[in-house]
Amino acid sequence: AQKVTQAQTEISVVEKEDVTLDCVYETRDTTYYLFWYKQPPSGELVFLIRRNSFDEQNEISGRYSWNFQKSTSSFNFTITASQVVDSAVYFCALVGGTSYGKLTFGQGTILTVHP
């Protein structure tokens, strides 16, 4: 069985603050992929990043960065200098090598960035 936990239900910050969204996962697969998606009020799921289980290098893309730590089964997402446009629901998701492509999502974290 696979499980993704996003313990933070809602986070509220003021513009230009840094914010970290936590994600903890469980899987018995040795090969797996982790994802982050953004869901703005319009409802579509916007792909942000995919990371495979063999690549523990941190990744930075503009104001976004991701910290993958297999030792703690975590894949945290940091937004630096947040902006109002970052306000959305963010989902962490997992697909295991034996799950035939089935994505398991966390409950989501609602991020509100105030001007």
Footprint on this chain of another protein (rule: CB under 8 A):
4, 33, 35, 37, 42-45, 47, 50, 91, 93, 95, 100-108
Alpha carbon 10 to chain centroid, angstroms = 14
Residue nearer to another protein on the CB measure, 64 or 105 = 105
Residue nearer to another protein on the CB measure, 88 or 95 = 95
Closest distance of CB 77 from another protein, Å: 15
Nearest to 70, CA basis, from 50, 54, 90, 94: 54
Residue nearer to another protein on the CB measure, 33 or 64 = 33
Distances (CA, A) of 53 to 36, 39, 61, 69, 96: 14, 24, 19, 10, 9
Closest distance of CB 92 from another protein, Å: 9
